[in-house]
Amino acid sequence: MSTFNTLAIDLGASNVRSVLGKYDGNTIQLEELRRSETLAVDFGVIQYWDFPRIIYDVQNMIALASKRHNIKTFGIDSWGDTHCFVDKKGRLLENPQCYRDPHLKDIYQEAEKVLSRDDVANVLGYRLKSKFRILLQTAYMTHYRKNFADAVDSLLFMAAALNFYLSGFKYAEHNAAASPQWAPYNSLEWNKDLLRLTGLDLRVLPEIVSSGTMIGPMSKAMHMSLGLTNTPKIVAVCEHDTGAAVSCIENDFDSIFISQGTWSVVGAIVDKPILDDEAIEYGFQNESCYAPKIRFLKEHLGLWLLQQCRKDWKKEGKLYDYDTLDAIALNAVPFSNLFDSDHADLFYSGNLTARISRLCSGNMSVAETVRAIFESISLRIALTCEKIKKYCKRDFSKIRLIGGGGRSDVLNRFIADATGLALEVGPFEGACMGNVVSQLIALGEIKGIKEGGELINNSIQKKLYFPENHDKWLPILEEIGIG
């Protein structure tokens, strides 16, 4: 067959990218076309995502790809648990609030006066930890911003909101809806009893559709505005970026997975939710897969730490690319500056180099900071891998690492050494690969996610890392209770 093109648009917390997916019947080849910064704008009392800027960039990305590469379809994936509110006339009522906004702490505190964790647990049958926050934001809106809540006609998750303004179609993709537990992993129905606890008017919820659903064409107005000669169709891909990435390896039950990027998401594919109280307290979540399986996972602060330190160094006039930072990390003394890489003080942006130094031995060089980040992330991953073995009640043969963070050779080696497991890295563009596979399923080119995984394996070269210095990590591992 002849090659045809799709377009994956991947919204990350640091940038939005358009990636061309070239499919020839046997392989998928990816080509990045454009990249722009994802901006969170601080208005003093609230930090918002700059939605108009994001959709402007997305429109230009679609126009460029359509005119130069004649794309058949496109799909958008995004970070999870962010939604937009639209009024009856289709107007965005406000920019979506950034999940790293430090002012959210005050909102959570107020909202807990009207929504309790116990009430949520009684409905779900288990407690929520981090996913409780999005419920609190919704409860705050309905109870403390009633005029705003009355103006809401539709609630749309981030990728679906972008597609609404491109097409006029309203929907919720199942993976995006199930990630915050607003829908069961095995049903296209909203968890209405849960959402009633927030006071949300359920009429604002659109229909839930499966991943890989063909939504339709762009609107005529948008088509004309962008000056397109062809009309690419919109696919509701697996719209949570972690879900899109993990869909690449969804059929690998013998491996622990790591989706490595701004977050380090560590987990395993299981048949049913694991609701052990101890696991939930540690922060494990049960999220929907593309197929009716579960991603049992724990989110850690990942390369967000290094991204923010690079910004700090840039302000000082020190410009480092990631390859340089990878190399100089080896110049620092091993295990001399370990810290809790999930410490609450590191969640918010601004002056992370100083905050990390305070958690360590004081002022540190660039090399010491990078090595401290890599070692501390690796130890956290090792601890979570042990807990996954415990709660899944099985051993795993290796770790599958996907995502752009896999380009760090040093971090990959540290993870293999810390966990004592072989590490198989690839694809780097996990979310984009999963995004393209969803489009191919919608087009009827492949039968399902199993065939998609085989297609991805045919399309990429993976790199293997074996633990070479696990014995040097053992004393540190024993200190944190493993090894």
| Structural fold of domain 241-426+462-483 | Nucleotidyltransferase; domain 5 (3.30.420)
Render 84-109 in DSSP notation, one character per residue.
EEE-TTS-B-SPPBPTT-TTHHHHHH
Q: What is the mean pLDDT of residues 273-295?
A: 91
Domain segments of the chain as ranges: 4-239, 241-426+462-483
Other residues' Cβ atoms within 10 Å of the Cβ of residue 204: 16
Nearest to 325 by CA among 364, 373, 264, 360: 373
Q: pLDDT tens, 194-237?
A: 999 999 999 999 999 999 999 999 999 999 999 998 889 999 99
Order the strands of the 73-77 sheet from edge to edge: 28-37, 15-23, 4-11, 73-77, 233-236, 213-217
Give the sign of the dihedral formed by CA 190, CA 195, CA 199, CA 204: negative
362 Cβ contact partners less than 8 Å away, ≥ 6 residues apart: none
Poorest-confidence range of 189-203, 285-299, 387-401, 404-418?
A: 285-299
Nearest to 178 by CA among 167, 166, 163, 189: 189
Q: Say whether pTM exceeds 0.75.
A: yes
Other residues' Cβ atoms within 10 Å of the Cβ of residue 228: 15
Q: pLDDT tens, 45-86?
A: 889 999 999 999 999 999 999 999 999 999 999 998 899 999
First to last CA, the chain: 52
> Do the domains at 4-239 and 241-426+462-483 have one common CATH topology?
yes
Nearest to 378 by CA among 476, 287, 253: 476
d(C-alpha 362, C-alpha 472), whole Å: 24
Q: What is the mean pLDDT of residues 173-189?
A: 94
Tokens standing for residue 397:
């043969």
Residue 388: CA count within 13 A, CB half-sphere = 31
**The CATH number fitting domain 4-239, selected from 3.30.420.40, 3.40.50.300, 3.30.200.20, 1.10.3720.10:** 3.30.420.40
N residues, the chain: 483
pLDDT band, residue 167 (cuts 50/70/90): very high
**Residue ranges of the alpha helices (H) in 249-407?**
277-282, 304-315, 322-328, 352-359, 366-392
Radius of gyration of the chain (CA): 22
Q: What is the mean pLDDT of residues 113-140?
A: 93
Q: pLDDT tens, 399-451?
A: 999 999 999 999 999 999 999 999 999 999 999 999 999 999 999 999 999 99
- Omega before 427 cis (within 30°)? yes
pLDDT above 80 for 113: yes
pLDDT band, residue 361 (cuts 50/70/90): confident
